[in-house]
Structure 1
Amino acid sequence: MVIPGVDRHDPTPGQGAPEARAVTSGGDVALLVPADSPAARATVHARGDDLTAVMEITDVAPVAVPHRIRGRARLAGWLTPVTGRDRAACVELLAERHPSGPFPGPAWTLLRLEPAEGWIDDLWGEGSVEPEEFAAASPDPLVRHEAELLQHLAAAHGDLVRGLCSLLGERERACGFREGAVPVALDRFGLRVRFRADGRSFDARFDFPRPVRDVAGLRRAIHALFEAASTD
């Protein structure tokens, strides 16, 4: 998190990424930071004045693959402390998002980032994100399971993942890339696999017939992909 006018290299513990974060139903971002962090001190010194901040987000693939960064994003807006009735709601939200803690206490400060603008550049493209779009977006039902599922597919089902190359149609001639195939992204809409060989690579997206709602639905969708590849 970057706050203009606050030295991002401040050695105070907690400078940088918030310890925990969650998006509220209204589209704001609840942030948990150390009470002695530059972000917490800056909000106190602002005394109600507008304090701008930017969250810089890097999405890294949870599997071993070259070029692991899947995307980058920025969310800019106004930073304020969370007080009163809103505090209890934010504490509950953060506890749900981060069940292992930490939980707010004297050593922690709750802040709120009200988005003004956003930007994203990832495997699917690049573009701006309006606050209304951010607020309306629903979390992917697989987000908490994606890392574990990708690692399982890579470690236990590498042959089946490589076999998906047979579904690429005209690009099937690239099946020489079966030398390496690693699943790099997974969401309710589909699976993305990176095929590689001889120092070259390309990504292929395998869409599910319909968005999956949970892990059980994902298993059925993945099995259907593997079956289609084996009979193609």
Structure 2
Amino acid sequence: MPSAAERTRTLVQSTCSAVLLIPGLETAGSDQLMPLSRTVGPDGDLFLEFPADSPAVRAATHAQDDELAAVLEITDVAPVSVPHRIRGRARVCGWLTSVPGMAGPGRMLLRLETGEAHVEDLWGAEAVEPEELRDAAADPLAAHEAELLQHLHAAHGERLGTLCELLGDRSARAGTGSRPSVVPVALDRLGLRVRFFERNGPCFDARFEFPEPVRDVTELRHAMRTLFDAAAH
């Protein structure tokens, strides 16, 4: 399975919704506290870009040399319609400072020095040390995951349905003996997670691991063909 640090870094570098929580700014609208961009620096600190007049920038500038505690909270939502659509959340806690002169006109770059991180997702809940976040790499499919899952759901629903054949007796958990609906819910370099459910009935996830980790979309296509061929025989 992907490590907690890899999962956290993937969420940080993804396009998932994120909001920066700063004590004293609870009344600010969440849209004012959403970074325009976010990256991870070589030391594992987060660099967040905001409009220069945002409440977050004003708070960081006003704090100057004082330590301003802040938390970046990321919410990961499945890109396809599926029951229980929130896939996970990550929190990166630390201290916020401004980095003048490093952003474009009308913008300001803020640095969140990572103190601790935590992820709670489809794999479970785990803490992540700053050094682990620094050394981890984002999943290579992360930039394409939403598009790939939407394509699988829209164009390959019938083939996804054949994955029931790989479940054996576990398919009975979906409710009646009829074939349940199958929706791809998550994809990474190590495998595909799908959700089986019936209308107004129970649902459960199944994880189908690839024979070996994939490094790009080309290798993913081969892995998916192998998976569907296994389900068809």
Amino acid in structure 2 at the alignment position of 1:10: A
Structure 1 distance, partners of 2:105, 2:232, is: 58
The answer to whether the 8 Å contact 1:8/1:15 transfers is no
Structure-1 residue corresponding to 2:220: 218
Output one character per residue of 1:5-62: Cα deviation in whole Å (capped at 9) or x when no partner.
Answer: 2x23325x95221111111222111110011111100111111111110011100000
User: Counterpart of 1:4 in 2: which secondary structure?
Assistant: coil
Among candidates 44, 48, 51, match of residue 61 of structure 2? 44
Instruction: Report the equivalent of 1:65.
Output: 82
In structure 1, runs of 5+ residues without a counterpart are: 88-103
Aligned to 2:155: 156
In the TM superposition, 1:43-122 aligns within 5 A as 43-83=60-100, 87=102, 104-122=103-121
Separation in 1, partners of 2:109, 2:172: 54
2:48 corresponding residue in structure 1: 31
Determine the C-alpha separation between the residues in 1 that align with 2:53 and 2:142.
31
Comparing 171-180 with 145-154, which one deviates more in the overlay? 171-180
Contact 2:69 / 2:96 at 8 angstroms: preserved in 1?
Answer: yes
Partner in structure 2 of residue 8 of structure 1: 26
Taking only the aligned residue pairs, the percentage that are identical comes to 58
State how far apart, in whole Å, the 2-side matches of 1:34 and 1:109 are. Answer: 6
Q: Which moved more, 1:138-147 or 1:165-174?
A: 165-174
Q: What is the distance in 2 between the residues matched to 1:22 and 1:178?
A: 43
Give the deviation of 1:197 after TM superposition. Answer: 1.3
Match of 2:135 in 1: 136
CA RMSD, 1 decimal: 1.6
1:189 aligned partner, one-letter code: L
Offset, 1:174: 4.3
- Are the structure 2 counterparts of residues 177 and 141 from structure 1 closer, same or farther at C-alpha, using a change threshold of 3 Å? farther
Task: Give the match's secondary structure for 1:178.
Answer: coil
Paired residues for 1:172-211 under 5 Å: 172-174=171-173, 176=177, 178-198=179-199, 199-211=201-213
SS of the counterpart of 2:47?
strand
Give 3-state SS (helix, strand or coil) of 1:64's partner: coil
Contact 1:14 1:33 in 2 (8 A): no
Greater mean deviation of Cα atoms: 115-124 or 173-182: 173-182
The aligned amino acid for 1:150 is L
Distance 1:218 1:195 in 2: 22
Return 71-80 or 14-23, whichever deviates more: 14-23
Structure-2 separation of matches of 1:119 and 1:230: 40
Aligned pairs, number: 211
Q: TM-score normalised to the size of structure 1? A: 0.86
3-state SS in 2 of match to 1:66: coil
8 Å CA contact 2:74, 2:91 repeated in 1 = yes
CA deviation profile, 1:147-199 (whole Å, cap 9, x unmatched): 00000000000011111111123414447463310000000010000000142
Closer, same or farther: CA 119–14 of 1 in aligned 2, 3 Å: same
| Matched AA of 1:134 | L
The code of the aligned residue for 1:225 comes to L
